[in-house]
Structure 1
Amino acid sequence: MSEFTIAVHGLVYLGHNNSIFTSEALAENICTNPVRVRRVLAKCRKKGLVQTKKGVHGGYFLTDNLEAITLKNVYEAIKIPIIQNTWHSGYINEQCMISSGMSEAMDDLYDELNKDAVAKLATITLKDMEVKLYAIQNERGTKI
């Protein structure tokens, strides 16, 4: 999920500033490595969320406004499940129905939760995230 966070952070930053930024500048704001930013934004570029400009004043820029891009669009670019099951309990060849079936039951649950999460992401735009950041700024009394 960290790639999703990097993507959302970077895209909101690009849209908020309505400018072109290098992977180094984005990485500094995101607090990660520029290589990670390039890998993530390459996926976003393939989905048409960002474009790149080459040259001295080159970098990444958003292809549309923040209102037009949903978090589902970002999720589909990154292609990493929100909820992942990296370990399975039990053993499929056991005679015990719990041991032999739990991994499949949990995988089904995670699939269902991911579908619900993706449906929710379709209702949230990058602009909504920017608005949330303004609210956080106001609560803290700080400036973005």
Structure 2
Amino acid sequence: MNTRFAVATHILAYLAHSQGQPVSSEVLASSVGTHPVVVRRLMGNLREAGLVQSQRGAGGGTILARPAAEISLLDVFRAAQAGETDLFSVGSTNPNENCNLGRVMQDTLEGVLGNAITAMRAALAAVTVEQVMAELSERLAGQCPEHSG
């Protein structure tokens, strides 16, 4: 299962929470529960998409490139997928053109799944990283103090 979208959303939420203070890939990896190399690779995609900026040197790290209210989850999804923008990867298949079923399968799946893909994109476009932060804050506020860290 591809976790890049979930990890990218986690990273951006953490950066939004840090309020402009640079965060290292090691700190982000610790929060996400993965290796810093995974975070750094994904950070390259987020940087190319204009969602984050890196600062080098002592006290350096990564910050959001624009306000969390201006980053939709669709932006995050597109950056995290890095060239795999087809949710179900129907276009990536190579069915046998000499097979009656194979010849029409790709068009059939694209037709059947088209509405789902459109709905998913609309749903992601309607939610910002700032809204994710608000939801996180709400959930954290409902926890006992010893579980809020």
Same fold (TM over 0.5): yes
Rate the CA distance shift 1:105–1:62 in 2: closer, same or farther, 3 A: same
Partner of 1:116: 119
Q: What is the letter of the counterpart of residue 135 of structure 1?
A: E
The answer to whether the aligner puts 1:33 opposite 2:35 as a matched pair is yes
Q: Secondary structure at the match of 1:64?
A: coil
Cα-Cα RMSD: 2.6
CA shift for structure 1 position 136: 2.1
Deviating above 6 A after TM superposition, structure 1's stretches of 4 or more consecutive aligned residues are none
Q: Secondary structure at the match of 1:51?
A: strand
Between stretches 73-82 and 111-120, larger displacement belongs to 73-82
**Which runs of structure 2 are paired with 1:93-108 in the superposition (5 Å)?**
93-95=98-100, 101-108=104-111
**Which runs of structure 2 are paired with 1:29-68 in the superposition (5 Å)?**
29-68=31-70
Partner of 1:83: 87
Match of 1:126 among 124, 129, 148: 129
Structure 1's unaligned 5+ residue stretches are none
In structure 1, distance between residues paired with 2:8 and 2:86: 14
In structure 2, distance between residues paired with 1:82 and 1:120: 16
Structure 2's unaligned 5+ residue stretches are none
Identity between Structure 1 and Structure 2 (%): 26
Q: What's the CA shift string for 1:38-95, capped at 9, x where partnerless?
A: 111111111211100111221111122211211112122224447325797x965445
Match of 2:24 among 13, 22, 25: 22
Partner of 1:136: 139
Q: Secondary structure at the match of 1:35?
A: helix
Please say if residues 82 and 117 of structure 1, whose CA atoms lie closer than 8 Å, have aligned partners that are also in contact.
Answer: no
Q: Secondary structure at the match of 2:87?
A: coil
Q: TM-score, normalised by structure 2?
A: 0.79
Between stretches 64-73 and 131-140, larger displacement belongs to 131-140
Give aligned pairs, total. Answer: 142
Q: TM-score, normalised by structure 1?
A: 0.81
In structure 2, distance between residues paired with 1:92 and 1:138: 57
Q: What is the letter of the counterpart of residue 45 of structure 1?
A: R
